[in-house]
C-alpha cells in the first residue's frame, strides 16, 4: 500500500471517525517489531505515546520499521513509513512530508500533541537520512 491508495480510500470516507478506524487498521498491519528494539536509543522523543523507529540500509535505500504503544499512533507510524521507507537518503530529505500529511487532512484532524509527535517522527527520519550524506 502507498500514500496515494490511502488518499483514495480517505476520499471514499465521509466521516473522520471512519478514517481514524482505517488508520488504526493500518497500524495493525505493521510487521512485528522486535521487543529488543524497543530501547531508549530507538525511541522518538516528542511523542506523547511511545514510538520506536529502527532502520537498515539496503543498497542505496533506507528501510524503516516502527512501532508504538498506542493504536492510532501505530497507524500514523505506518503512514510515515509509507512516505519514507525504501528511499535513498536524498529522496528522504527532499520529501515534503508536511504537504503529504496536510493533503491527507491529518494535520487538521489530530490533536496538537499527536501532530507534534508525527513531526517528531518526520524529523527523526530526516536526521537519519542526513547522516548518510
Active site amino acids? 47
DSSP, collapsed to helix, strand or coil, labels residue 88 as coil
Question: Nearest-CA neighbor of 27 among 91, 97, 78?
Answer: 78
By the 8 A CB rule, do 44 and 121 touch?
yes
Q: What angle do CA 54, 95, 11 make, to 5 degrees?
A: 95
Amino acid at each position: 500500500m502507498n500514500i496515494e491508495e490511502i488518499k483514495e480510500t480517505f476520499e471514499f470516507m465521509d466521516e473522520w471517525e471512519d478514517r481514524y478506524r482505517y488508520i488504526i487498521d493500518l497500524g495493525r498491519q505493521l510487521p512485528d517489531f522486535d521487543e529488543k528494539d524497543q530501547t531508549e536509543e530507538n525511541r522518538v522523543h516528542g511523542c506523547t505515546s511511545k514510538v520506536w523507529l529502527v532502520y537498515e540500509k539496503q543498497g542505496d535505500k533506507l528501510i524503516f520499521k516502527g512501532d508504538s504503544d498506542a493504536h492510532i499512533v501505530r497507524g500514523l507510524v505506518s503512514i510515515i513509513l509509507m512516505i519514507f521507507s525504501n528511499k535513498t537518503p536524498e529522496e528522504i530529505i527532499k520529501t515534503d512530508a508536511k504537504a503529504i500529511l496536510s493533503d491527507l487532512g491529518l494535520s487538521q484532524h489530530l490533536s496538537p500533541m499527536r501532530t507534534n509527535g508525527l513531526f517528531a517522527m518526520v524529523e527523526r527520519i530526516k536526521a537519519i537520512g542526513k547522516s548518510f550524506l
